[in-house]
Structure 1
Amino acid sequence: SFARYGRPIGQVLLTVADASRRDRARNSQRTIDRLRQLGIVPIVNENDTVTTSSATFGDNDRLASLVSHLTYADACVLLSDVAGLYDRNPAEPDAKFIAEVRSHRDLRGVIAGDGGRLGTGGMSAKVSAARLASQGGIPVLLTSTDNIGAALDQAMVGTCFWPAEDRLSAWKFWILYAAEAGGVLHIDGGAAQAMEHHNSLLPVGITKITGDFTSREVVDIVGPGGHLIGRGEVNYDAATLQGLMGKSSDELPDFAQRPAVHVDNLSTYANRLSRDYGATR
């Protein structure tokens, strides 16, 4: 199909590891950038040959969102079999079309996917992917394949997901949505409150550690309510941090005066953090 227009293409097969490890993510980015410099259209898919059920992007929509951010795309277009997002099954007579989504508030009351309230599968997966890309600062257009011409022209069709005003940096986006976590830090309410106010995570606020991670690895951070509220690059290996957790600064040895996770290397899911910390107040 591309040959009819004299455009060469190059297939790019990615795995979760290609996005979750920083060095491989950079290599993937450089490869795609070089293809574009050569006038080649990259066709990206998941490498099913070496993918396992426990290590997969999940669906092509999520893969598209991650690649859009990886390549600093101007926009992401997700195609479906319906004209855009509706607040319920578009086959229902009272279904309302949603022309734009600027924040999670615009999705209140929306029922998508397999009948669940923004559950899993189908339209739910597309909404999740669109929100993922827009959180990284990329505008997303969700429309039908029948509207592809208009979508790539003036884009006056479908549902527009506006990029978040408080867009994440490339580093913090990668930490939250692509990096592979080497372990888990469970924290108390005080530490969650400190994170809510954009402070570093100190050893005193850690209540439990799982995993055998090394220093500088990415770890999941779970709040007192049991929800994943953030991720960050830890300053100590698991064994060392095990001996430091729960101790105040005065109780820590001289070599351990750094925070467990510095605020510059810490990224949080703001809506989850507020919900988790709020439940403990």
Structure 2
Amino acid sequence: MTITRLADLADPAKTPRLVVKVGSALLVGKDGQPNRAWLEALCEEIAQARKRGQQVIVVSSGAIALGAAKLGLARGGRSNLADAQAAAAVGQIALAGLWSQLLGKCGLTAAQLLVTLEDLDDRRRYLNAAATIGKLLQAGAVPVINENDSVATEEIRFGDNDRLAARAAQAARADAVVLLSDIDGLYDRDPADPDARMLPLVEGVTRDIHDMATGGSSSGLGSGGMTSKLQAAEIAERAGIVLAIINGTHVRPFERAFQHDRGTLFLPRRNDGALKSWLGGRQRMKGVLVVDTGCAKALAKGGSLLATGITLIEGDFRRGDPVAVRDAQGRALGQGLVEYDADEIARIKGYRSEELQALLGYSPRSAVIHRDQLVLL
């Protein structure tokens, strides 16, 4: 059954598994204290979804904001990385306790999962996380996922929980993701503009859609903005997952959005399968391969990346590492897992397949990146 409107996200036949992302600005007030009444109502909505037969996964921000208030740190604990990590270490306890208590009042068991970008970029750890989420849902628990900000460095951070929610949805094989925002959805320009128009439906995130977004977080508490939400929609759509943005500032936000059909629904144009959706959602690449025009055209038609089309190599990587593929103008074409080390590719780039054995000293592999290990962006 196909999801075509926001109300379908409350239909267990169309959306049996749902991911809900809650941002810091909704969960924590300006005084650094949790918005308990709002959160209690949200937990009641989660419990209602469970009674309808839906499984729910929560991706929750708020640890840094809660911890910063307890420690008396400036700028909500975001002045520097050390402050953020210290605030998160304190706030994670408070956040987990809050979800456990309030979901418990609704008869639900909360389970905490703390992850870093590295956890979901590594294939084995990604599969382990997926198995854990699956077991928790099978056991009737509500997984509450957050970035492990107390140990994550700038190099291994998601940076916002919008993209984490999309990656968690991929791992959980969810049907849809709902991002609770401080506005009703995606507008065609700055929402402060009186002529701004909200888009109720988006079929695939294009360059024109990205141009509508702004990158900042209006609250000052979170780290995301509309740009990060569009990036999350792109990650979700690679796995055929629907994503919605609705206004979370109202009490019982799901009830309001579904009854009044108020929000933006992103419908995927593709479904890359488990491996390719994981690969396409990776944020860190070990290197870059620049290709010529002929190679770019062959990739667009579903071909593998061959040595003859490579013009430039960047980075130090090994066989099996993820690398980005770009054209001569620097535009991102795709990303995939390479079949050769960087120094080997440096020796064979620009050469035809029949010439590679003499250059390498062994029988060459079928491609530098096979089409089965390559996802187009």
TM-score band w.r.t. shorter chain: 0.7 to 0.9
1:231 to 335, 341, 362: 335
What is the aligned partner in structure 2 of residue 163 from structure 1?
268
Asked whether 1:103 is paired with 2:207, we answer no
Paired AA for residue 261 in structure 2: M
What is the aligned partner in structure 2 of residue 139 from structure 1?
242
Asked whether 1:77 is paired with 2:77, we answer no
2:146 match: secondary structure: strand
2:367 to 254, 259, 266: 259
Paired AA for residue 112 in structure 1: T
Q: For residues 87 and 257 of structure 1, do their structure 2 counterparts lie closer, same or farther at Cα, with a shift above 3 Å needed? A: closer
Q: How many residues align?
A: 264
2:375 match: secondary structure: strand
Q: For residues 91 and 205 of structure 1, do their structure 2 counterparts lie closer, same or farther at Cα, with a shift above 3 Å needed? A: closer
User: How far apart are the structure 2 equivalents of 1:11 and 1:178?
Assistant: 23
What is the aligned partner in structure 1 of residue 14 from structure 2?
none
User: How far apart are the structure 2 equivalents of 1:155 and 1:52?
Assistant: 41
Paired AA for residue 201 in structure 1: L
User: How far apart are the structure 2 equivalents of 1:209 and 1:109?
Assistant: 30
Q: For residues 28 and 111 of structure 1, do their structure 2 counterparts lie closer, same or farther at Cα, with a shift above 3 Å needed? A: closer
Answer whether contact 1:187 1:207 (CA < 8 A) is retained: yes
Identical amino acids, percent of aligned pairs: 38
Which segment drifts farther, 195-204 or 173-182? 173-182
Q: For residues 215 and 131 of structure 1, do their structure 2 counterparts lie closer, same or farther at Cα, with a shift above 3 Å needed? A: closer
1:61-210 → structure 2 map (5 Å cutoff) = 61-104=162-205, 107=209, 110-114=212-216, 121-145=224-248, 146=250, 148-150=253-255, 156-164=261-269, 166-178=270-282, 180-210=284-314
Deviations 1:136-158 (A, max 9, x none): 21111211112523268668331
Which segment drifts farther, 4-13 or 256-265? 256-265
2:334 match: secondary structure: strand
Answer whether contact 1:186 1:223 (CA < 8 A) is retained: yes
Shift of 1:174: 1.4
1:243 to 340, 347, 364: 347
What is the aligned partner in structure 2 of residue 14 from structure 1?
115
Structure 2 portions without partners, runs of 5+: 1-101, 218-222
Shift of 1:94: 1.7
Q: For residues 208 and 16 of structure 1, do their structure 2 counterparts lie closer, same or farther at Cα, with a shift above 3 Å needed? A: same
Answer whether contact 2:159 2:224 (CA < 8 A) is retained: no
Deviations 1:12-58 (A, max 9, x none): 00111111110010001011111111111110000012111122112
1:97 match: secondary structure: coil
What is the aligned partner in structure 2 of residue 268 from structure 1?
376
Give TM-score scaled by structure 1 length.
0.85
Answer whether contact 1:12 1:44 (CA < 8 A) is retained: yes
CA RMSD of aligned residues (A): 2.4
User: How far apart are the structure 1 equivalents of 2:253 and 2:124?
Assistant: 35
Q: For residues 37 and 249 of structure 1, do their structure 2 counterparts lie closer, same or farther at Cα, with a shift above 3 Å needed? A: same
Give TM-score scaled by structure 2 length.
0.65
